[in-house]
Amino acid sequence: GAGVSQSPRYKVAKRGQDVALRCDPISGHVSLFWYQQALGQGPEFLTYFQNEAQLDKSGLPSDRFFAERPEGSVSTLKIQRTQQEDSAVYLCASSPRWVGQLFYEQYFGPGTRLTVT
Amino acid sequence: QQPVQSPQAVILREGEDAVINCSSSKALYSVHWYRQKHGEAPVFLMILLKGGEQKGHEKISASFNEKKQQSSLYLTASQLSYSGTYFCGTAQGGKLIFGQGTELSVKP
């Protein structure tokens, strides 16, 4: 079946522009996660949803970052007034399990590479 | 706090074995392992739970030492397809904290 998809795959933004990154999780997956990955580093947690509820947003770097999943499926990560330090790959992952279950394997999308110039 | 992985990088010949370690300064309840090939998405390998349960993948196995707060990933008879960066992650609720990664290169 179809995996997690993300769009756009590449985005170049001028400093100060707003961007919106989209994630289409695997159909029926209840949990959805966003990560930021800098070059040569591991993915860094940003936020996660269980259905439409955002249960943890402690990893969002600033109030310029905002994520939503209004109908419990597609999610959008929005970055306002982009800065150069926002340049990274943004990964989305989904899981068929509730986070409270012991095993919650995550299925990652290919990521969106954001470059802020 | 981010788990620490060792080694940072390893080069193998096909058929050789490798061990990747993941240590945490915090008490561990579960350890997740993922592999990421260059330019691709991370792929789930395994989850280990306190108490010994695990959910695994292929010919890769792992151990979880609760007392030492560490996990080890064992890659035996490595294949070219094993090349990539391996990440361990420790779960804190829904938040998965990844280590810095171990880059594994398998040469023919």
Chain B interface residues facing chain A, Cβ-Cβ under 8 Å?
Answer: 2, 30, 32, 34, 40-44, 47, 49, 53, 55, 87, 89, 91, 93-101
Q: Which residues of chain A have pLDDT under 70?
A: 1, 100-103
Chain A interface residues facing chain B, Cβ-Cβ under 8 Å?
Answer: 4, 31, 33, 40-45, 48, 50, 55-56, 58-59, 91, 93, 99, 102-111
State which residue of chain A sits closest to B55, comparing Cα positions. Answer: A103
B91: chain A residues, CB-CB within 8 Å? 104
Are B79 and B105 spatial neighbours (Cβ–Cβ below 8 Å)? no
- Helix H or strand E segment including B25: none
Question: Under an 8 A CB cutoff, do A110 and B41 touch?
Answer: yes
Per-residue confidence in pLDDT tens, chain B, 108 aa: 899 999 999 999 999 999 999 998 887 778 899 999 998 999 999 888 876 666 666 678 888 888 888 899 999 889 999 999 999 998 877 788 999 999 999 999
Q: Report the 3 state secondary structure along A21-32.
A: EEEECCCCCCEE
The residues that bridge with B80 in the sheet, in sequence order, are: none
Question: Under an 8 A CB cutoff, do B55 and A44 touch?
Answer: no
